[in-house]
């Protein structure tokens, strides 16, 4: 129930006395009664009206400190500025700009001219800034004034999106170049043969046909690898669920990659009973790519050792080691990039597409595994893949 005012006894007594006075003075009884009723009615309305309620603060206890607690764990870097200085910086903002920015002039903290230009604008505004925290990073800086002296600054990192865009652009450019090269050879030799109309030198015609066949196979291999890479990337977030016994799979895939002409250079050492959750087709492709690379780029008469054994932390460890020339250290971090080659001429001559290790990397990532490449010039290269065993409780390796 709503609270009501207390009964106004003095007012009631005054109304009664007033009515009696009118009767004593000789007024008509009905007039005295009417005045009494009117007086009582006004008193009743006063009693029924609830007392005024004091206004309630919509933000009881709200302060700058409470705002700091509210935004502290936000994943978006946020700054609260007061009179041109940074009063609050949440954890994400401190990680980007440093803890020293608290209390600092916001212009000094942001440094970038485009970001500093936002500070004096009376209306909400935003700008794109490059190199705010690190070289070549890209941020969207927006400022929202709260009062004349206070404003909120939000930092949104667009570096990943920009990197993805550049990667897509580079991929299309590289893929177009890789496809154009064999196509140009095929078209050129085919046009030459067509112009001769069978009247040219048979040896030369045979050589041209061999080149067309070789370039066609190279083109097919490139298209196949592009399609494989696309499928693997589309499935990279779906962890495989089939139980795979690795030993027979590794032996079968390694022999397929070697073929009859290179089987003599292949040395297999596999430990039975290592079961993983995986995609059999992708794991076979992983083994074929690694073995083919070892045979292709290793010493022409050297062996390629394929080893499957129990690794650390309940993993199956697959290694493929060749006896080739080795790879200089500066190339190692880039070997899994698409179309990256340490020796482009040799790679193309041997039929390489430049996508083999990129495919291996994505297969390993899908299987929550780890890929390591070690090499020393003059001693050969070893590629190691670790995949969690089916019995392991861990979801992946770092």
Q: Are residues 142 and 180 in the same domain?
A: no
pLDDT of residue 260: 86
Q: Are residues 112 and 181 in the same domain?
A: no
Q: Are residues 69 and 150 in the same domain?
A: yes
In a domain? residue 58:
no
User: In which order are the strands placed within the sheet that holds 304-311?
Assistant: 266-270, 304-311, 315-321, 380-388, 370-376
Note down the domain range covering 295: 242-388
Point out the domain boundary residue: 234, 260, 290. Answer: 234
In a domain? residue 54:
no
Point out the domain boundary residue: 192, 215, 234. Answer: 234
Supply the angle between the helices 356-366 and 202-234 in degrees, to the nearest 10. 20
In a domain? residue 57:
no
In a domain? residue 1:
no
Q: Are residues 249 and 300 in the same domain?
A: yes
In a domain? residue 342:
yes
Q: Are residues 290 and 367 in the same domain?
A: yes
The CATH number of whichever domain residue 201 belongs to comes to 1.10.287.130
Q: Are residues 229 and 246 in the same domain?
A: no
Strands (E) across the chain are located at 78-82, 85-89, 125-130, 138-145, 150-157, 242-245, 266-270, 275-278, 304-311, 315-321, 370-376, 380-388
Q: CA 19 to CA 13: how far, in whole Å?
A: 10
The CATH number of whichever domain residue 246 belongs to comes to 3.30.565.10
Q: Are residues 229 and 184 in the same domain?
A: yes
Q: Which of 250, 292, 282 is nearest to 363 (CA)?
A: 282
Q: Are residues 148 and 202 in the same domain?
A: no
Q: Are residues 249 and 384 in the same domain?
A: yes
In this prediction, the residues of the chain whose per-residue pLDDT falls under 70 are: 1-65, 163-168, 170-171, 198, 344-352, 392-398
- CA angle, corner 317, sides to 312 and 322, nearest 5? 130
* Cβ neighbours for 284, distance < 8 A, ≥ 6 positions apart: 249, 252, 253, 256
The CATH number of whichever domain residue 140 belongs to comes to 3.30.450.20
Q: Are residues 123 and 24 in the same domain?
A: no
Contact (CB, 8 A) for 240 and 279 = yes
Give 289-311 pLDDT, tens digit per residue.
999 999 988 888 889 999 999 99
Q: CA 41 to CA 35: how far, in whole Å?
A: 10
Query: How many other CB atoms are there within 10 angstroms of residue 92's CB atom?
Result: 18
Q: CA 273 to CA 310: how far, in whole Å?
A: 10
Q: Are residues 34 and 149 in the same domain?
A: no
Q: If DSSP codes are grouped into helix, strand and coil, which group holds residue 233?
A: helix
In a domain? residue 90:
yes
In a domain? residue 145:
yes
Point out the domain boundary residue: 131, 157, 183. Answer: 157
Q: CA 101 to CA 90: how far, in whole Å?
A: 11
Q: What single DSSP character describes residue 105?
A: B
Q: Is the dihedral of CA 338, 344, 347, 349 positive or negative?
A: positive
Radius of gyration of the chain (CA): 41
Report the number of distinct structural domains present in the chain. Answer: 4
Q: Is the dihedral of CA 343, 349, 351, 353 positive or negative?
A: positive
Neighbour-count burial for 280-301, b at 16+ CB within 10 Å, e otherwise: eebbbbbbbbbbbbbbbbbeee
**27 phi and psi, to 5 degrees?**
-70, 160
Give 240-252 pLDDT, tens digit per residue.
889 999 999 999 9
In a domain? residue 396:
no
Q: Are residues 303 and 375 in the same domain?
A: yes
């Amino acid at each position: 129930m709503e609270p009501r005012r207390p009964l106004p006894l003095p007012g009631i007594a005054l109304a009664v006395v007033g009515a009696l006075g009118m009767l004593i003075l000789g007024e008509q009884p009905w007039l005295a009664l009417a005045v009494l009723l009117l007086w009582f009615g006004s008193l009743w309305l006063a009693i029924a009206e609830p007392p005024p309620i004091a206004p309630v603060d919509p933000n009881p206890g709200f302060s700058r400190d409470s705002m700091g607690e509210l935004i502290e764990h936000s994943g978006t870097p946020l700054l609260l500025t007061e009179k041109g200085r940074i009063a609050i910086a949440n954890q994400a903002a401190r990680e980007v700009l440093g803890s020293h920015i608290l209390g600092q002039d916001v212009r000094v903290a942001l440094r970038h001219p485009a970001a500093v230009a936002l500070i004096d604008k009376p209306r909400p505004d935003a700008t794109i800034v490059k190199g705010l925290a690190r070289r070549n990073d890209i941020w969207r800086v927006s400022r929202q004034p709260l009062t004349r002296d206070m404003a909120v600054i939000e930092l949104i990192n667009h570096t990943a999106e920009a990197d993805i865009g550049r990667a897509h652009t580079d991929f299309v450019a590289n893929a177009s170049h890789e496809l154009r090269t064999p196509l140009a050879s095929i078209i050129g030799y085919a046009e030459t043969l067509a112009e001769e109309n069978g009247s040219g030198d048979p040896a030369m015609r045979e050589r041209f046909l061999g080149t067309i066949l070789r370039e066609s196979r190279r083109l097919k291999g490139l298209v196949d690898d592009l399609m494989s890479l696309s499928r693997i990337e589309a499935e990279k977030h779906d962890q495989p669920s089939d139980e795979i016994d690795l030993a027979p799979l590794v032996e079968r895939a390694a022999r397929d990659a070697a073929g009859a002409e290179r089987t003599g250079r292949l040395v297999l050492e596999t430990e039975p009973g290592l079961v993983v959750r995986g995609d059999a087709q992708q794991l076979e492709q992983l083994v074929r790519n690694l073995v083919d690379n070892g045979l292709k780029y290793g010493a022409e008469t050297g062996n390629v050792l394929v080893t499957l054994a129990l690794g650390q932390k309940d993993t199956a460890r697959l290694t493929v080691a060749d006896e080739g020339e080795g790879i200089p250290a500066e190339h190692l971090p880039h070997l899994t990039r698409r179309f990256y080659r340490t020796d482009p001429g040799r790679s193309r001559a041997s039929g390489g597409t430049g996508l083999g290790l990129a495919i291996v990397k994505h297969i390993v990532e899908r299987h929550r595994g780890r890929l390591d490449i070690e090499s020393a010039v003059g001693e050969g290269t070893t590629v190691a893949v670790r995949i969690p065993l089916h019995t392991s409780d861990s979801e992946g390796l770092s």
